[in-house]
Amino acid sequence: MILKGKNIVLGITGGIACYKAADLCSKLVQAGAIVDVIMTPAALAFMTPLTFQTLTKRPVSVDMFQLLRDTDMAHISLAERADVLVIAPATANTIAKLAHGLADNLLTSTALACTAPLVLAPAMDTDMWENPITQANIAALRARGAVIVGPGYGRLASGRIGAGRLVATEDILGAIRQTLGRKGPLAGARLVVTAGGTQEPLDPVRHLTNRSSGKMGYALAEAARDAGAQVTLITAPTALNTPYGVERVNVRTAAEMAEAVLGRLEETDILVMAAAVADYRPKVTAEQKIKKGEGALLLELEKTEDILAEVARRRPALAHRLLVVGFAAETENLLENALSKMQAKRLDLMVANDVSSADSGFEVDTNRVILLNPAGEQEALPLMTKADVAEHIIARVAALWRRDHG
Ligand code: CTP
């Protein structure tokens, strides 16, 4: 949602990675942004304005001396319109010009006139990137507030392996979203979110786990980042990429997750326990692979630590107020079970999650939840994507946070 209706000026410079800017452009448009593309003359050697004009359904600007709508000076009106100026890919040449205030084409002139935040995604060969001149230029731009995303490491157009690749579209989008949201309702809040299903080892090759994919927790991390929070994601193993701008802490077992969460309580303002934490673990973990025997195999399980129960116990001794959000994944008696867990774990907000149908809960991209609070209010959300559910939850969390922090 954060991109919806936002004016993004997307600058494209002349490097081989600029074909990837078409994907970025398309994703921005799909997310509801109004995208004005500026191409440098060198970018025209790689792509045509028609590509971006088709994707944005808006004119693409190249000419420094063109007037928009007959009288507007393009560089001034584009600079004024921008909520954020993104340059992807940003070549070493354009980075050097920006660092020194050169304004020799429409993009660099717009950048000089623009007071909106600047997001740069550098892409070039390793030697150009590692050149002290480029590094000094990047440092100068960063010192003036520019957000530098990447570059990534990997195979370059030259065939070499090294630093200089344009980062994935997902990361550039993440950087844009974080930049747009940095003064959002959770600015200044330190938020910890847990995600995924813990794994409790039986032996070196087997473990007990559950069907949690981590998608809900990762979506919450992104929504919180977009609302301006400083986010730490404590995650059990998942197949998901780390969201841009989020600190990721990898754990495996319930005990490791407990240690990671409890060890951070002093520095946490908001805790969102979206992880599916195992309630039981094998009493003994075999050192060698368990061999098949003649009869049945009986496993003895012991209880894991209930992280939220321990948080509730430690909370009164904390020097600051901690907001706690929990989840209840239920297959029956949803409201009744969720309400009693909210009370037992002293939560500020409970997300009651119906995991009994195929389109809601574990593994899928959609979810159906009811939000409950200790005041007895209930808000049943319709089936929606986990990203949308996450935004709803974070909006409720932000309202609680703002109540305490003006
Ligand atoms: N939770 C936790 N530590 C555990 C188990 C769960 O902190 N060892 C958290 C979950 O992250 C979730 C909430 O407690 O936010 C409720 O989890 P759930 O598994 O639904 O509830 P339990 O209290 O474990 O009860 P039950 O499994 O019997 O339904």
Task: Please tell me the distance from the alpha carbon of residue 344 to that of residue 78, in angstroms, as a whole number.
Answer: 55
> Tens of pLDDT along 178-189?
999 999 999 999
69 pLDDT more than 60 = no
38 exposed, middle or buried (CB, 10 Å; 0-12, 13-18, 19+)? buried
Query: Residue 338 Cα, ligand 1 centroid: separation in angstroms?
Result: 10
Which of 211, 303, 307, 322, when mutated, tests ligand 1's pocket best, judged by the most ligand atoms within 8 Å of its CB?
A: 307
The DSSP letter of residue 307 is H
For residue 261, which atom of ligand 1 is closest to its CA? Answer: 7
> Tens of pLDDT along 193-215?
999 999 999 999 999 999 999 99
132 pLDDT more than 70 = yes
| Beta strand 369-372 pairing with 378-380 | antiparallel
Higher pLDDT, 335 or 356: 335
The pLDDT assigned to 68 comes to 58
Which of 212, 279, 324, 336, when mutated, tests ligand 1's pocket best, judged by the most ligand atoms within 8 Å of its CB?
A: 279
Side chain identity at residue 207, one-letter code: H
Nearest of 124, 45, 31, 163 to residue 84 by alpha carbon: 31
71 pLDDT more than 80 = no
361 in Cβ contact with 354 (< 8 Å): yes
Instruction: With cut-offs at 50, 70 and 90, classify the pLDDT of residue 356.
Output: confident
Pair of tokens at residue 206: 């087997």
Give, using CA atoms, the residue closest to atom 12 of ligand 1. 327
| H or E element at residue 77 | helix 74-81
Instruction: With cut-offs at 50, 70 and 90, classify the pLDDT of residue 355.
Output: confident
The DSSP letter of residue 17 is G
The pLDDT assigned to 168 comes to 96
The pLDDT assigned to 65 comes to 72
Query: Residue 330 Cα, ligand 1 centroid: separation in angstroms?
Result: 10
Higher pLDDT, 283 or 363: 283
Which of 216, 327, 370, when mutated, tests ligand 1's pocket best, judged by the most ligand atoms within 8 Å of its CB?
A: 327
Query: Residue 350 Cα, ligand 1 centroid: separation in angstroms?
Result: 11
The pLDDT assigned to 328 comes to 95
CA distances from 119 to 87, 96, 241, 282, 349 (A): 6, 15, 21, 48, 35
At 380, is the secondary structure helix, strand, or coil? strand
Task: Please tell me the distance from the alpha carbon of residue 88 to that of residue 120, in angstroms, as a whole number.
Answer: 6
210 in Cβ contact with 269 (< 8 Å): no
The DSSP letter of residue 404 is H
The pLDDT assigned to 67 comes to 57
pTM of the model: 0.94
Query: Residue 23 Cα, ligand 1 centroid: separation in angstroms?
Result: 40
108 in Cβ contact with 128 (< 8 Å): no
Side chain identity at residue 403, one-letter code: R
Give, using CA atoms, the residue closest to atom 26 of ligand 1. 279
pLDDT mean across residues, the chain: 94
Instruction: With cut-offs at 50, 70 and 90, classify the pLDDT of residue 347.
Output: very high
Average the pLDDT over 270-276 and give the result: 98
Instruction: Name residues contacting ligand 1 (CB within 6 A).
Output: 254, 273, 275, 277, 279, 304, 306-308, 326-329, 341
361 pLDDT more than 80 = no
Pair of tokens at residue 405: 């922090």
Give, using CA atoms, the residue closest to atom 28 of ligand 1. 279
The pLDDT assigned to 70 comes to 55
Could you give all domains of the chain from N- to C-terminal order, each with its CATH number? Answer: 7-180 (3.40.50.1950), 184-405 (3.40.50.10300)
Checking 201-205 for CB contacts under 8 A at 24+ apart, the result is: 201/252, 201/253, 201/282, 201/285, 202/282, 202/285, 202/286, 202/290, 202/299, 203/285, 203/286, 203/287, 203/288, 203/289, 203/290, 204/286, 204/287, 204/288, 204/289, 205/289
Higher pLDDT, 404 or 202: 202
> Tens of pLDDT along 293-325?
899 999 999 999 999 999 999 999 999 999 999
Phi then psi dihedrals of residue 49, to 5 deg: -55, -30
Give, using CA atoms, the residue closest to atom 9 of ligand 1. 308
Query: Residue 210 Cα, ligand 1 centroid: separation in angstroms?
Result: 13
Task: Please tell me the distance from the alpha carbon of residue 222 to that of residue 239, in angstroms, as a whole number.
Answer: 16
CA distances from 22 to 18, 105, 175, 192, 213 (A): 8, 21, 17, 34, 30
Which of 62-71, 116-125, 289-298 has the weakest average pLDDT?
A: 62-71
Query: pLDDT over 70 for what percent of the chain?
Result: 98
Pair of tokens at residue 326: 């929990």
Give the active site residues.
210
> Tens of pLDDT along 4-46?
999 999 999 999 999 999 999 999 999 999 999 999 999 999 9
For residue 345, which atom of ligand 1 is closest to its CA? Answer: 14
Query: Residue 344 Cα, ligand 1 centroid: separation in angstroms?
Result: 11
Task: Please tell me the distance from the alpha carbon of residue 189 to that of residue 405, in angstroms, as a whole number.
Answer: 10
Instruction: With cut-offs at 50, 70 and 90, classify the pLDDT of residue 404.
Output: confident
For residue 279, which atom of ligand 1 is closest to its CA? Answer: 8
The pLDDT assigned to 359 comes to 82
Which of 193, 304, 306, when mutated, tests ligand 1's pocket best, judged by the most ligand atoms within 8 Å of its CB?
A: 306
The pLDDT assigned to 76 comes to 83
Query: Residue 167 Cα, ligand 1 centroid: separation in angstroms?
Result: 37
**Cα dihedral value 212, 218, 223, 224, nearest 10:** 110
